[in-house]
């Protein structure tokens, strides 16, 4: 059994790619459930005591999560996976393995996708990575396309655009791209571009499945329906309306017509190094406007750190006000 981690910045084509890979009888794609990362992978080797009360606290949290409810585990099944594990990582692997056995027993690879999974590489020793046969795929997309998509996509959970602050997104994008280069020499790490996936889906899917060593017939891309639509919540199907359609190449450069010029300029100025080394054009901004860029970025930095300080202050006050046990 192999564990395949798909990592990305939101709105980079990860759901489309996962849907394609789900067409292989050898790949089990798990439903999305962001809760699993902070709960089990933020501190993967935290030992798990045999405290039954703690078991039920975790189970209750998982059951309350809307996305994890789509995994369709009952309480007894969850309790069995947790109680048989020694640490957080083992619980996480046990949950994924049980889902695969229950829903796609023929699979030899389990795919789990999450934006934070690239951070996991530094947390797990090489020996453990090998013992679980862990692999990573990083999917990248032009920051301007990402920002446009996030700014016009309404989150089903918040009812608001996924992103309204280009600066925070640009920082996260730069960090993600830098990490993909840091890990690019690893044998179990691969990088792919959203634009290549859309322009030549056959090539990218063929390259990935060849690396994985799984059965995949390229005619399935157009002839076979993926499994993701069956495991997406009704809310999330609304933001992936064309997941089973032939990719629309015109969307690759949609940002050129729809993204305000000022946002294009700020994003290029802030991300030009990583745009260039990924083969993206950095035309469209003028060095004459550099003072304007610096002023805007400084303003965003102040706003960003003000939010961080405000949240930190709230957490401290909440801690102070928490009654002693």
| Domain count within the chain | 1
> In this structure, what token pair is assigned to residue 125?
């020793």
Select the more confidently predicted residue: 52 or 62.
Answer: 62
Which among 265, 240, 248, 250 has a CA at the least distance from the CA of 144?
265
Select the more confidently predicted residue: 27 or 284.
Answer: 27
- Running DSSP on this structure, what letter comes out for residue 244? T
Dist. CA 14–CA 48, nearest whole Å: 32
Dist. CA 2–CA 95, nearest whole Å: 14
Dist. CA 134–CA 109, nearest whole Å: 10
Secondary structure class of 192 (helix, strand, coil):
strand
Dist. CA 231–CA 203, nearest whole Å: 26
Secondary structure class of 53 (helix, strand, coil):
helix
The size of the chain, in residues, is 325
Residue 312: per-residue pLDDT: 62
**Residues 221/39, Cβ–Cβ less than 8 Å:** no
- Residue written as tokens 């990088």? 191
Mean pLDDT of the chain: 89
Q: 214 vs 74, 149, 167, 202, 290, CA distance in Å?
A: 31, 32, 40, 15, 50
298 assigned to some structural domain: no
Secondary structure class of 129 (helix, strand, coil):
helix
> Taking residues 91-107, what's their average pLDDT?
97
Instruction: Tell me the per-residue pLDDT of 263-272, one tens digit each, with 9 for 90 and over.
Output: 898 899 889 9
194 assigned to some structural domain: yes
Does the pLDDT of residue 324 top 70, yes or no?
Answer: no
Answer positive or negative: Cα dihedral of 211, 212, 217, 218.
Answer: negative
Would strands 109-113 and 189-193 be described as parallel, antiparallel, or unpaired?
A: unpaired
Does the pLDDT of residue 4 top 70, yes or no?
Answer: yes
Range of the domain at 54: 2-246
Q: What is the CA radius of gyration of the chain?
A: 21
Residue 286: per-residue pLDDT: 59
Buried b (16+ CB within 10 A) or exposed e, 201-230: beebbeebbeebebebeeeebeeeebbbee
Dist. CA 71–CA 205, nearest whole Å: 26
DSSP per-residue codes, 5-47: EEEE-SSSSHHHHHHHHTTSTTEEEPPP-TTHIIIIISSTT-B
Select the more confidently predicted residue: 323 or 16.
Answer: 16
Reported confidence tier of residue 293, pLDDT bands at 50, 70, 90? low
Phi, psi of 7 (to 5 degrees): -125, 155
Select the more confidently predicted residue: 308 or 104.
Answer: 104
Reported confidence tier of residue 325, pLDDT bands at 50, 70, 90? very low
Residue 19: per-residue pLDDT: 95
Residue 245 burial class via C-beta count within 10 angstroms: exposed 0-12, middle 13-18, buried 19 and up: exposed
Q: What is the CATH number of the domain that holds 221?
A: 3.40.50
56 assigned to some structural domain: yes
Residue 250: per-residue pLDDT: 86
223 assigned to some structural domain: yes
266 assigned to some structural domain: no
Reported confidence tier of residue 323, pLDDT bands at 50, 70, 90? low
> Taking residues 52-77, what's their average pLDDT?
90
Instruction: Tell me the per-residue pLDDT of 145-163, one tens digit each, with 9 for 90 and over.
Output: 999 999 999 988 788 999 9
Instruction: Tell me the per-residue pLDDT of 70-80, one tens digit each, with 9 for 90 and over.
Output: 999 999 999 99
Q: 117 vs 6, 37, 277, CA distance in Å?
A: 7, 8, 22
Count CB-CB contacts under 10 A for residue 30: 22
Reported confidence tier of residue 23, pLDDT bands at 50, 70, 90? very high
């Amino acid at each position: 059994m192999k564990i395949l981690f798909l990592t990305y910045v939101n709105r980079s084509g990860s759901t489309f790619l996962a849907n394609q890979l789900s067409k292989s009888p050898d790949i089990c794609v798990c439903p999305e459930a962001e809760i699993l990362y902070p709960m089990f992978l933020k501190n993967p080797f935290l030992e798990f005591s045999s405290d039954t009360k703690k078991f039920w606290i975790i189970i209750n949290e998982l059951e309350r999560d809307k996305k994890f409810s789509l995994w369709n585990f009952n309480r007894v099944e969850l309790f069995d996976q947790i109680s048989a594990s020694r640490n957080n990582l083992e619980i996480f692997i046990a949950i994924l393995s049980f889902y695969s056995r229950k829903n796609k027993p023929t699979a030899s690879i389990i795919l789990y996708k999450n934006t934070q999974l690239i951070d996991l590489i530094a947390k797990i020793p090489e020996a453990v990575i090998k013992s679980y046969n862990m692999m990573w795929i990083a999917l990248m997309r032009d920051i301007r396309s990402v920002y446009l998509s996030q700014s016009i996509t309404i989150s089903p959970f918040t009812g608001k655009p996924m992103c309204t602050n280009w600066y925070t997104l640009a920082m996260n994008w730069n960090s993600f791209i830098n990490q993909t280069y840091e890990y690019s020499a690893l044998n179990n790490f691969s990088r792919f571009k959203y634009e290549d996936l859309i322009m030549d889906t056959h090539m990218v899917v063929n390259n990935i499945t060849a690396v994985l060593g799984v059965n995949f017939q390229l005619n399935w891309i157009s002839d076979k329906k993926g499994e993701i639509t069956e495991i997406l919540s009704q809310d999330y199907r609304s933001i992936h309306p064309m997941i089973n359609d032939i990719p629309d190449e015109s969307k690759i450069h949609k940002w050129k017509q729809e993204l305000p010029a000022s946002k294009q300029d700020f994003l290029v100025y802030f991300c030009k190094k990583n745009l260039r080394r990924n083969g993206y054009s950095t035309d469209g901004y003028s060095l004459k406007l550099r003072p304007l860029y610096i002023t805007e970025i400084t303003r965003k930095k102040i706003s960003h750190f003000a939010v961080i300080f405000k949240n930190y202050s709230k957490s401290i006050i909440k801690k102070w006000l928490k009654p002693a046990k």
